[in-house]
């Protein structure tokens, strides 16, 4: 199971993270008022987080391409502390790494980020954000509440169990039941 989980964190995530799991997360992102969300998984060296899924319109530009160093950024802080965060002033937070925002010409205004564990180990982070274009004069989005963070934590817990069940079925050769 541990080897299968490691493979899932590498290039094999799409084989494990099926359409129903995607729908579960995308529904939760919308329910909490996020513009989009991302599943970030640790790379093999545990030096970076790699986006393996994103629900937004810019996904093709950074999923499986971008690397978020564990030495900077708020989602990296979630890995280091293994604690969730709810931050409504991301653009004012000194821990925020603006690299991806700059590449996408967006500004992250609010973020929920939850540790993502399966098969007994921290494997990454699930985050969702409220954004605005960098050239926009619009006010910041309304942000998230503590209840939103709790709801996302519950859904990520369910997702973890679904992934574990899928990995177990694959390991036992029961792909048709997975």
For the chain, domain boundaries? 2-177
Check residue 178 and report its DSSP letter.
Answer: -
Query: What architecture does CATH give domain 2-177?
Result: 2-Layer Sandwich (3.30)
Closest CA to 110 of 93, 134, 97: 93
| Residues 20-63: tens digit of each pLDDT | 999 999 999 999 999 999 999 999 999 999 999 999 999 999 99
Q: Is the pLDDT of residue 178 over 60?
A: no
Range in 13-17, 26-30, 96-100 with the lowest mean pLDDT: 13-17
Give the tens place of pLDDT for each residue, 121-176: 999 999 999 999 988 888 889 999 999 999 999 999 999 999 999 999 888 887 75
CA torsion 111→4→159→147, rounded to 10°?
Answer: -40
65 with 72: CB under 8 angstroms? no
pLDDT of residue 9: 79
Contact call for residues 48 and 124 (beta carbons, < 8 A): no
**What CA–CA distance (Å, rounded) separates 36 from 54?**
7
Cβ-based neighbours of 161, under 8 Å, separated by 6 or more: none
Residue 17 pLDDT more than 90? Answer: yes
């Amino acid at each position: 199971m541990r080897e299968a989980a490691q493979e899932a964190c590498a290039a094999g995530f799409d084989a494990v993270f099926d359409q129903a799991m995607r729908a579960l997360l995308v529904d939760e992102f919308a329910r909490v008022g996020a513009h989009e969300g991302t599943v970030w998984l640790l790379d093999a060296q545990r030096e970076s987080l790699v986006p393996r899924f994103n629900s937004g319109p810019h996904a093709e530009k950074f999923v499986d391409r971008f690397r978020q160093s564990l030495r900077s950024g708020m989602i990296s802080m979630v890995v280091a502390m293994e604690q969730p965060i709810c931050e409504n002033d991301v653009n004012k937070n000194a821990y925020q790494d603006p690299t991806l925002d700059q590449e996408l010409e967006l500004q992250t205004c609010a973020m929920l980020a939850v540790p993502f564990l399966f098969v007994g180990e921290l494997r990454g982070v699930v985050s969702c954000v409220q954004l605005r274009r960098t050239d926009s004069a619009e006010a910041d989005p309304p942000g998230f509440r503590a209840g939103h963070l709790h709801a996302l934590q519950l859904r990520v817990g369910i997702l973890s169990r679904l992934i574990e069940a899928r990995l177990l079925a694959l390991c036992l050769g029961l792909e048709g039941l997975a």
